[in-house]
Structure 1
Amino acid sequence: MRDSYVSSAGVRAGQGQLTVGVEEEFALADAVTREAALVADAVVEAAGRLAGDGHVVGEMSLAQLETVSGVCSDVRQLRTEVMRLRRCAAHAAQEAGCLLVASGTVLLGDPGPPPLLDKPRDHAIAARFGRLVEQQCTNACHVHVGLPDLTEAVQVANHLRPWMPLLLALTANSPFCGGRDTGHASWRTMLWDRWPTATPPPYLRSVDHYEEVVAALVDSGAAVDPAMLYWSVRPSRHVPTVEVRVADVQPDPEDTVAYALLVRALVAAALTDLREGKPALPVEDTVLRAAMWRAACDGMAGRALTLPLPGPHRSVPVWQLTEALMGHVQGHLRKTGDFDAVRRWLARLRRHGPGAARQRAVYERTERLEDVVDALAVSGPARHDVAPDRKGGAVREDTVQPT
């Protein structure tokens, strides 16, 4: 997929409040058949005119696109930006005769092989990874939190990594793919994990250790360059942020906003622990990977290992570990005024489940995946809702690569 990212302008901690930005990937489906629509080039061009340069970009598949928010400092800005960009992209999709679909995978049809730009890097990726670059229409939600100090960013990633399975369980939104129920809550995760660097990050001892790991992965051929480190949480290579990449794209903008606020609070809590000298828990890589699979398989319906908590690992209901997470971050959520928004989101998840459960509920009622596609379609706007916002822009690297 084409690498896009939040602008570095203003992405920093300021006045005690961390900035946040969101990237959301969406599928395109034909408005009549509900199958994958390979029209991203036209939709991206039209959406870009509405949203502003760099805020809607292409991805690897012609059946998907990505929205890239500007830098936000509070919930009002973030909600406005997420909703504006969704509306811009949905409006452009409608003009092209298709739907903008908020699902981690394509439910119906074949997204096809990727279009490759005629650049050496893109050809190198295709030659090295072969069929891995095919059928790679997976749609995630990436959250950037401003953190300009690389030493702190590396250590914050250590503190966040044990929470990645829980964040995945809360945001799983891809049970169907290619016309079938996959038996997983996040099939996107299973497809994405085929890439050799699409893993939870290792426990990093220092910036030097981080750079050594990056260099070794590139030297091994598992990545053609450092930008191909697809860890579920990582210091960004392009902008001064910590980037959390574990979630499926969310079905509703309020889901996206609340999830991003929760991630920001987790980063704030990690910074507090780091500055107070509290070490991150060195969870074993194999155990963390197993917990990620369990979250991808079960979503919120299963159990979770207590990896972020001191003591021996135990298997508990996902909701029990969620309460522990809220206890860990509630002070930071209250400080920024975000506690109620996140709590309402979690209460909604407890009643209805994450996107995966909601998708299956629609299918159980109608037995038609076309109806599930319709339920996930992003609503189009009135024209005044999609006026470009030129402030706090976004930029992209014009390459074809998974991101």
Structure 2
Amino acid sequence: MALVLSPATPGLAHDPLPPAAHAHPPAAARLTMGVEEEFLLVDRRTRAPVGRAPRVIEAAARALGSLVQPELFTAQVETCTSPTASTAVLRAELAWLRAGLVRAAAGEDCLLVASGTPVIPPEGPLTLTPDDRYRRMAVRFASAFGDYDQVVCGCHVHVGVTSRAEALDLANRIRPWLPTLQAMTANSPFDRGRDTGHASWRAVEHANWPTVGPAPVLDEAAYERIAGDLVRCGALLDRRMIYWYARPSEHVPTLEIRVADVNARLDGVVLLAVLVRGLAAVLGEEAREGRPAPTLECGRLREAHRLAAVHGLGGEGLEPVGGARLPAWDLVERLRERAAPGLCAAGDLPYVDALLDRLRAEGDGAARQRASHGLRGRLTDVVDALAATTARA
């Protein structure tokens, strides 16, 4: 899809700015990135999710075109960036998309909110987006829908690849690092009026869907066999319902990383994308050198993801290769060091270090949501803070 850019500057005066695009980027910097963000629409007065997405999308699409799309429920909207190798371009397009949606939402008396789960419960059952595929999913997987009052919003990062085989090999290699990326982006401690005790309740709710979890280690032949079997036996409606944490896209030549909550702070989204790209550059080079992918014990990897959902960056995590329990920030430092050669090649390392310093000082999204609530004990304050931060891009 064609890249469309806003004339807006790529950052706020008080934010660290990403590097400008290289005229002749090195190989690692030529890896493309793309981001999908799912947002909630909440009523401006009640702050509860409301099903006004069709009108919001219609208004936003006049400027944003097909980069804004419906999601499962009419209380959600999704944006999809164009692929780019430039961190500055990615940030600028994300900011432009958010700004367009914020304006369109305001025209329908809504706030645009980046939270993995709704802070305040909807005032009634949510409405499914009128789409034949969604209707069939609702019938076949009714248990995942509950009482139609649960909605989750994620942030997905795509990294460009040359083939499905390359995407699967990269998925095999990136598995140990995904729990740390999940912890860094935890942003759903509240769910429909209660504190869940988790940093990412979205991760828990999303796991009600089939196949959500760590990807199995597969080559291309095994992927084709398993994907076909899952659809034929009725476990999935179609191959687009393969929801592994790292999966080859079915419609674009990318590896898609699906562990993150949507984040209100735009720079947290860019940090996620450039870390994924930096890791992909390093791991791809190791693949070309013939170095084997790490061997992981499946239960240990699932426990690492569970701890990431519970604690975010505010507690211990699990290093899934060796099995050591470590402070989450130690695991972040290890991830940064692992990705550093790829980040350096793209010119992203100083930018990443500045964003990591800010994240350490201010906490993950879950910590910031709880801090907003702690001021007066009002969930509406949490929603207002999320909406303000989402719009600040």
Structure-1-length-normalised TM-score: 0.87
What residue in structure 2 maps to residue 112 of structure 1? 125
**1-structure distance, mates of 2:216, 2:2:** 25
Corresponding pairs, count? 367
Taking the aligned partners of 2:390 and 2:291, their CA distance within structure 1 comes to 47
Supply the distance in 2 between the matched residues of 1:239 and 1:62 (Cα, whole angstroms). 25
What residue in structure 1 maps to residue 363 of structure 2? 353
Instruction: Kindly provide the CA deviation profile for residues 105-153 of structure 1, in whole angstroms up to 9, marking residues without a partner as x.
Output: 111122733425363x444322211142333411111111111221111
Q: What's the CA shift for 1:306?
A: 1.4
- Can you list the C-alpha shifts for 1:180-239, whole angstroms capped at 9, x where unaligned? 1011100111110001111110111x1101112212222332211111000111111110
Aligned to 1:391: none
Which residue, out of 198, 204, 210, partners 2:212?
A: 198
Supply the distance in 2 between the matched residues of 1:380 and 1:372 (Cα, whole angstroms).
12
* Counterpart-to-counterpart distance in 2, 1:381 and 1:225: 35
* Paired AA for residue 180 in structure 1: R
Q: Structure 1 CA distance, aligned partners of 2:136 and 2:46?
A: 35
- Whether contact under 8 Å (1:88, 1:380) holds in the other structure is no
Distance 1:302 1:96, change over 3 A: same
> Are the aligned partners of 1:147 and 1:242 in contact in 2 as well (CA < 8 Å)?
yes
2:142 is matched with 130
Q: Could you tell me whether the CA contact under 8 Å between 2:48 and 2:121 is conserved in 1? A: yes
Match of 1:71, as an amino acid? P
| RMSD of aligned Cα (Å) | 2.0
CA distance in 1, matches of 2:294, 2:368: 34
Q: 1:364 aligns with which of 368, 374, 379?
A: 374
Q: 1:78 to 1:353 in 2, by over 3 A?
A: same
Q: Which digits, 9 at most, give the CA deviation of each residue in 1:376-399, with x for residues without a partner?
A: 1157989xx9xxxxxxxxxxxxxx
Correspondence for 2:247: 234
Q: How far does residue 76 in structure 1 lie from its aligned partner after superposition?
A: 1.1
Aligned to 2:155: 141
Q: Which residue in the other structure is 2:88 paired with?
A: 76
Partner SS, residue 312 of structure 2: helix
Distance across 2 between alignment mates of 1:131 and 1:184: 22
Structure with higher RCO (Cα < 8 A, 6+ apart):
1
**Which aligned pairs between 1:2-401 and structure 2 lie closer than 5 A?**
7=1, 16=27, 17-51=30-64, 53-110=65-122, 112-117=125-130, 119=132, 121-133=133-145, 134-204=148-218, 206-308=219-321, 312-378=322-388
Q: Indicate how the Cα distance of structure 1 residues 298 and 118 shifts in structure 2: closer, same or farther if over 3 A, else same.
A: closer
CA distance in 2, matches of 1:173, 1:118: 28
| SS of equivalent to 2:326 | strand
Residue 136 and residue 237 in structure 1: after superposition, are their counterparts in 2 closer, same or farther (change >3 A)?
farther
Contact 1:87 1:378 in 2 (8 A): no
Q: Which amino acid aligns with 1:65?
A: V
Structure 2 residues without counterparts, runs of 5 or longer: 4-24
Letter in 2 for 1:101: V
1:347 and 1:76 map into 2 onto residues whose CA distance is 19
Shift of the 185–118 alpha-carbon distance from structure 1 to 2, 3 Å rule, reads closer
| Alpha-carbon distance in structure 1 between the residues aligned to 2:390 and 2:323 | 46
The one-letter amino acid of 2:113's match is: V
How far, CA to CA, are the matches of 1:136 and 1:270 in structure 2?
37
Q: Report what 2:6 is aligned to.
A: none
For structure 1, the 5+ residue unaligned runs are 1-6, 386-403
Which of 271-280 and 130-139 deviates more? 130-139
Check the 8 A contact 1:107/1:177 in 2, yes or no.
yes
CA distance in 2, matches of 1:347, 1:313: 27
Match of 2:17 in 1: none
Shift of the alpha carbon at 1:90? 0.5
Q: Give me the TM-score of the superposition, normalised by structure 2.
A: 0.89
Offset, 1:15: 5.9
Q: Distance in 1 between matches of 2:179 and 2:390?
A: 33
Which secondary structure does the structure 2 equivalent of 1:61 belong to? coil
| In 1: Cα distance, 2:197 partner to 2:41 partner | 23
For 2:67 and 2:376, the matched residues in 1 are separated by 36
Summarize the Cα distance change of 1:116–1:352 in structure 2 as closer, same or farther, 3 Å threshold: closer
CA distance in 1, matches of 2:125, 2:198: 22
User: Do the aligned residues in 1 keep the contact of 2:128 with 2:135 (CA within 8 Å)?
Assistant: no
Per-residue deviation at 1:269? 1.3
Paired amino acid for 1:67? T
In the TM superposition, residue 365 of structure 1 has moved relative to its aligned partner by 1.1
- 1:57–1:67: 8 Å Cα contact kept in structure 2? yes
Partner SS, residue 71 of structure 1 = coil
